[in-house]
Structure 1
Amino acid sequence: MLNEYQQYDGLGLASLIRKGEITPKELIESAIEKIEELNPSLNTVIHKMYEEAEETLKSLELSSTFAGVPVLLKNAQQDIKGHPLTLGAKILSGYISDVDAEYVRRLKKTGVVILGQTNVPEFALLAITEPVHYGPSRNPWNLNHTPGGSSGGSAAAVASGMVPIAGGNDGGGSIRIPAAFTGLFGLKPTRGRTPVGPKKGRSWQGASVDHVISKTVRDSAAMLDETHGYEKTAAFHLPEFRGSYLDLVDKPLEKGLKIAFSIESPIGTKVHPECKKAVLKTMKVLEELGFEIEEKAPEIDGKQLAESYMTMYFGEVAATLANIEKIIGRRVSMKDVEPATWLLNQLGNKVSAGEFVQALQVWDQSAIIMESFHEEYTFYITPATAYPPSRIGELDQTPLEKLLMKAVGTLNAGGLLKRSGFVDELVTKSLERTPFTQLANLSGQPAMSLPLHLTEENLPCGVQVMAARGREDLLFRLAGELEHSPLWIRRP
């Protein structure tokens, strides 16, 4: 089975089980063998749950949608009762979840068998997965390159064939960026589409949403069918979707729909030619399929939006460390976390309540603009990222930056840095490689990354597609159509 295992997606494997062509035990053994073979070089699975998987098989309901399908979950937000949730941070190495996250509870009801948890950057903050505590995850397409972040471990696991589906969450691109870097399908649902409880009502002020990274569009659609819906404790609610996303994947869209696209960075930074090429050749195919194409971007101040995102980012890091202090019963010090995390914490503690509220107002204004934009254009298409995958270590802080971070931490000089103009430089440096994805998080829209291009170095480059809030149905229909096109890349 091992040689055939990687040929199937999750629904395909579940079908084999229901037909009796393979037993759940044989399937899980194949997945475990593949994880053990590949993980030493990829460093993607940081916690294994093989014994619990054996227990799951004993009570498996074969009629479930994904009965017996092996999956991995992200080691951030996706709490599994009785197992670690470290968020890639050494300071949380002893923390054990006391309850399943509501998303995980719904995921389990689909019949999946959880084999472990995947690597993330510290506190899931970065678009690369290179935590000091666990070490870097590597891209299966080229081990010298990153699989992206923060769901980088999950993306590497799926792209390498360890599992067909892995959990992710996306607060600024953390599903779409790694999907783009590893040649996979990654959808960030609309804010409020999937649950965030039971211990909280929102994640990153509503910017972060849970879902999966998958090889195929239909796996993502079927999983959203199973996990979406009302959660009474959630801060954000959507009208219930009364259909099946899976049924829509093979339903082509009406021709003549208007599509807007842009290949320019919303913050005025460089976009790599390969990333532009990915969009332009996609637009050519869509035009040939009968869609009306126009190069146009929404009238949103990209730099202001980026600053509002980073204001939330700073505040969330400061709040995270404050909450950790309650868990560990002592103050968190500079030595407990990575230098970049401590710097963000310092800046977060200098953000005023007024600044934070103003940042959220920018989000709302952007959402209003995008709703009007989508009254004319069904889709808005951009590169998923501004650059192909970086090399491992390429984005490390320079010695001067590390010295500055240490000085700021030692002197508690976050306020001084904030006044110096350093924050403006930090915003640009943090987002120059991934400036396209944050808009959907802040406006609350659904957005997806499609694997439609390979660079000359044989590295994947994703194309992002956004739709109006609540319109995942449109995204799945477009993705299903493009999945059958010659553009869709498939790893041999």
Structure 2
Amino acid sequence: MHDIHTLIDQSDATTLAELVKGGDLQASELLEATIQRLERVEPQLNAVAEKLYDQARQQQPAVGPFSGVPTLVKDLFAPLAEARMTNGSLALGEARPGMDDEMVSRLRRAGCVFVGTSTSPEFGTSYSTESTRFGATRNPWNLVHSAGGSSGGAAALVAARAVPFAHGNDGGGSLRVPASCCGVFGLKPSRGLMPNGPLAGEGWGGMGVAHAITLSVRDSAALLDATAGADLGAPYAAPARPSSYVEAMQRSLRPLKIALVEHLEPWPSSAEALAAIRHSATLCEQLGHQVTPATLPVDLPRFLDQAFDIIGPNTRNYLDLLGQMRGAPVSETELEPRTRIYLREKGDIGAVQYVQAIEGIHALGRTFANFMRDYDLILTPALTREPPRIGTLDVTDDRADLATLIECFHSYSPFTALFNATGQPAMSVPLYWTNGGLPIGAHFAGRFGDETTLLTLAHQLETLQPWAQRRPPVNACAT
């Protein structure tokens, strides 16, 4: 008789699903064990927005690549039929859309069982998952530190081994930042590769994309196999993808030329971030790849100003729509200071300024495409320093200006949002832990539409320096 928790400790989602489909493990047994694991860590992490245990017990898992595997959906612009959707905000009350978005539908058809929703900061606009509605989500490696954001709940639960993967989305680093903070794998796919509908058209001018945070690279690739592809009527479509990412990532990889970027003006990387990135570069060289110092062709302050020219009006439009749906306008008192600042400074810009911002990010995409003619991948720190303490990135005074917010967030994560704007795939790979025991991810970006090279390199790195055996102090493991 197997010990279910030891089995989960040693398995990724792909293995667990194979055991369920083969009859060696009952989906109900896996579900009850996962509920126990969530209950073991949740009081310390505060990573679950809503528990859906009873609803999960009533689900009949579909037969698919993840048959019977329990997971969570991020509580941010991803409606799940059995759950409320708060987007981390008090403004939505107990609203329940009563429907699945397309990404959730594909996960359901792949056999996933939804045991809850995971926490997010209000509207996903922070690199730390802290909200008035839910409080702070904590890092399982050190509870006084942030789990990152905005998919912080997902990352914390995967790192703590409560679930092998969890859904998330990424409009400026929201998969990769928490993956870096929590020492797990986070891939942001190319623009247009994943479904956004039916509620969202393009999500922050095409910068937003959904996927997942995983423990294994194989699970990330298998999730792409199960969910990738533009949905009906999507405004963007990525280039043709392989018949199987799982198969493609296992093939041999020619020596790559990798651009190493250690700093991005005006914000320097800390000594620990540099140590992390240089360690990662050394691992790549051990695998036979060429790593060359480079400078990115971007004016970062100008880019960030344009990015918020897109985020501000989109936030205003969403709140106006929410007011119409509930029959009462959203009051500023229902919103957090950070959101009020965005709305005050960028919520009502003119149409021409908005169009200029859209054109600006697409021009940046062409600039980076030309840059990538000389390189296969770009390697940067995921973050300029270790995960911050809780409260460091939590803005509590709406008298601050947007420049102060940009300094606060993007001096910490200057690299990730660039690749949302350019549409390129990017990933955070857990390869380095500080002397204090906190992870700092290595951030790689590839050519538009080339997830395969990223996943193949990640698989090489995972084989060379496995990370799954590194468990944080707060974990759900049997021993």
Q: Distance in 2 between matches of 1:489 and 1:449?
A: 15
CA apart distance, 1:50: 1.4
Structure 1 gap ranges (5+)? 406-421
Alignment deviations for residues 400-434 of structure 1 (CA, whole Å, 9 cap, x no partner): xx2625xxxxxxxxxxxxxxxx4444422331101
Of 398, 414, 424, which residue of structure 2 is paired with 1:435?
414
Of 1, 11, 15, which residue of structure 2 is paired with 1:12?
15
For 2:344, the equivalent position in structure 1 comes to 346
Alignment deviations for residues 346-372 of structure 1 (CA, whole Å, 9 cap, x no partner): 122342212211111221111111111
For 1:21, the equivalent position in structure 2 comes to 24
CA apart distance, 1:397: 3.5
For 2:258, the equivalent position in structure 1 comes to 259
1:277 aligns with 2:275: yes
1:381 aligns with 2:379: yes
TM superposition score normalised by structure 2: 0.94
Q: Distance in 1 between matches of 2:372 and 2:266?
A: 23
CA apart distance, 1:298: 2.7
Amino acid at match of 1:264: H
Alignment deviations for residues 154-173 of structure 1 (CA, whole Å, 9 cap, x no partner): 11111111110100000000
Counterparts of 1:29-428 in structure 2, within 5 Å, are 29-57=32-60, 60-62=61-63, 64-255=64-255, 257-265=256-264, 267-397=265-395, 402=397, 404=399, 422-428=401-407
Alignment deviations for residues 225-264 of structure 1 (CA, whole Å, 9 cap, x no partner): 1101132221111233142101122223112x21101110
Flag as ranges the 4+ runs of structure 1 deviating above 6 A: none
CA apart distance, 1:489: 6.5
For 1:474, the equivalent position in structure 2 comes to 453
TM superposition score normalised by structure 1: 0.92
Alignment deviations for residues 160-208 of structure 1 (CA, whole Å, 9 cap, x no partner): 1111010000000000000000011100000010000012321111100
CA apart distance, 1:49: 1.3
Equivalent residues of 1:452, 1:489 under 8 A apart: no
Moved more, 134-143 or 1-10: 1-10
Q: SS at the partner of 2:355?
A: helix
Equivalent residues of 1:440, 1:466 under 8 A apart: yes
Q: Distance in 2 between matches of 1:350 and 1:87?
A: 22
Share of identical aligned residues, percent?
35
Q: SS at the partner of 2:155?
A: helix
Alignment deviations for residues 57-89 of structure 1 (CA, whole Å, 9 cap, x no partner): 3xx344x11111111110012211242000011
Q: Distance in 2 between matches of 1:232 and 1:332?
A: 31
Q: Distance in 2 between matches of 1:156 and 1:28?
A: 19
Q: SS at the partner of 2:168?
A: strand
Structure 2 gap ranges (5+)? 472-479
Root-mean-square deviation over aligned CA pairs: 1.6
Alignment deviations for residues 309-346 of structure 1 (CA, whole Å, 9 cap, x no partner): 12212222222222221122122222111112112111
CA 1:489–1:19: 2 relative to 1, 3 Å: closer
Q: SS at the partner of 1:460?
A: coil
For 1:411, the equivalent position in structure 2 comes to none
For these two proteins, the number of residue pairs brought into alignment is: 468
For 2:427, the equivalent position in structure 1 comes to 448
CA apart distance, 1:94: 1.9
Q: SS at the partner of 1:404?
A: coil
CA apart distance, 1:36: 1.3
Q: Distance in 1 between matches of 2:278 and 2:183?
A: 18
Q: Distance in 1 between matches of 2:149 and 2:403?
A: 22
Amino acid at match of 1:24: A
Equivalent residues of 1:454, 1:489 under 8 A apart: no
Q: Distance in 2 between matches of 1:377 and 1:290?
A: 15
Equivalent residues of 2:62, 2:112 under 8 A apart: no
Q: Distance in 2 between matches of 1:425 and 1:455?
A: 28
